[in-house]
Chains A and B, each alone.
Chain A
């Protein structure tokens, strides 16, 4: 599947996690951890992507009325055309959507009881972050964390 602005990342293997409850958020975290382990991500990178996954999965459950997370291993060239591997997380829901994306991406802005750090915080933790949302249709968020090859 080719996505707009995906920088040439091509999925090679993927798993889908349904997101309907807060137990699913925990499950999503574990699945992302397993995928990150397979990619031999270093611990800090792994911690960042799992944290971002937790924030975004919770958003999907709380604000998107549930949805799913597709976890994929992707390969693609870096800016020097070298082969690299990464982990792509694709969150989709068919909830109310986000009317004002700029506000939603602002640190401290919250539509509910949270800290208002879910979206901007997640964006700061990952290498690529892409959000598209249509009010009344749903929201799709794609993030990628590349593996630093040593």
Chain B
């Protein structure tokens, strides 16, 4: 079972989801991210999905649940790197990742997390598609 690597970058954790992500590893990710947030006292988590060729309803649920777990633990979270083809497919499936902050790439995601940290009112996770 390939485990999703989680690395620490400053006060942020970066989890890079691989192309070969299976359901079990995806569920393991929720657990691992929660643990690492508590251990490292990270202020934010970036879930990098740029290597995923698809996001189906299961992965979408895992992303939403993982984001919720991170928020409940008091950190901010953003899903970064979704490809346009995946975005088109997700919207057509009726999945819009409600309440999950999204960003184009890691750099953009780090800026979004920093903004959320400085302005907790925006830290609800909303506004993934809002004005920059």
Q: Please give the residue numbers on chain A whose beta carbons come within 8 Å of chain B beta carbons, in ascending order.
A: 22-23, 25-26, 29, 33, 43-44, 46-48, 50-51, 54-55, 58, 107, 114-115, 117-118, 121, 124-125
Contact partners of B84 in chain A: CB under 8 A:
44
Residue contact A107 to B94, C-beta cutoff 8 Å: yes
- Complex Cα spacing A23 to B93, Å: 23
Nearest-CB residue, chain B, relative to A120: B94
Q: Quick one: given A22-B22, A58-B23, are A47 and B57 in contact (CB under 8 Å)? A: no
- Who on chain B is nearest to A107 by CB? B94
| 29 A-B interface contacts by CB (under 8 A) | A22-B23, A22-B24, A23-B22, A29-B53, A43-B85, A44-B85, A44-B88, A46-B85, A47-B54, A47-B85, A47-B88, A48-B89, A48-B92, A50-B53, A51-B56, A54-B54, A55-B57, A58-B58, A114-B57, A114-B61, A115-B57, A115-B95, A117-B95, A121-B95, A124-B92, A124-B94, A125-B89, A125-B92, A125-B93
Whether B58 pairs with A26 at a CB distance below 8 angstroms is: no
Interchain CB contact (< 8 A) of B89 among A23, A47, A114: A47
Contact with A along B40-61 (1 / 0, CB 8 A): 0000000000000111111011
Chain B residues in the interface with A (C-beta under 8 A): 20-24, 53-58, 60-61, 83-86, 88-89, 92-95
Q: Which of B21, B83, B85 is most buried by chain A, counting CB atoms within 10 A of its CB?
A: B85
**A48-B92, A117-B93, A121-B93 known; A54-B20 Cβ under 8 A:** no
Number of A-B contacts (CB under 8 A): 66
Given known pairs A26-B22, A58-B58, A115-B61, the reply for A33 and B53 (CB within 8 Å) is yes
A48 partner residues in chain B, CB cutoff 8 A = 88-89, 92
Most chain A CB atoms below 10 A, which of B22, B61, B83, B86: B22
- Interface residues of B, dominant DSSP: helix
- The CA-CA distance from A117 to B95 in the complex, in Å, is 9
Chain B residues lying within 8 Å of A25, measured Cβ to Cβ, are 22-23
From B54, B94, B95, A29 is in contact (CB under 8 Å) with B54
- How many angstroms from the CA of A44 to the CA of B20 in the assembled complex? 19
Query: CB distance A115 to B92 under 8 Å?
Result: no
CA distance A107 to B94 in the complex (A): 9
Within the assembled complex, what's the spacing in Å between the Cα atoms of A107 and B20?
A: 28
Q: B61's closest neighbor in chain A, by CB?
A: A115
Known contacts A43-B85, A51-B55; can you find 12 more A-B pairs with CB under 8 A? Answer: A25-B22, A33-B53, A47-B83, A48-B88, A51-B56, A58-B23, A114-B57, A114-B58, A115-B57, A117-B93, A117-B94, A118-B57
Expressed in whole angstroms, the Cα–Cα distance for A100 and B24 within the complex equals 29
How far is B23's CA from A22's CA once the two chains are assembled, in angstroms? Answer: 6
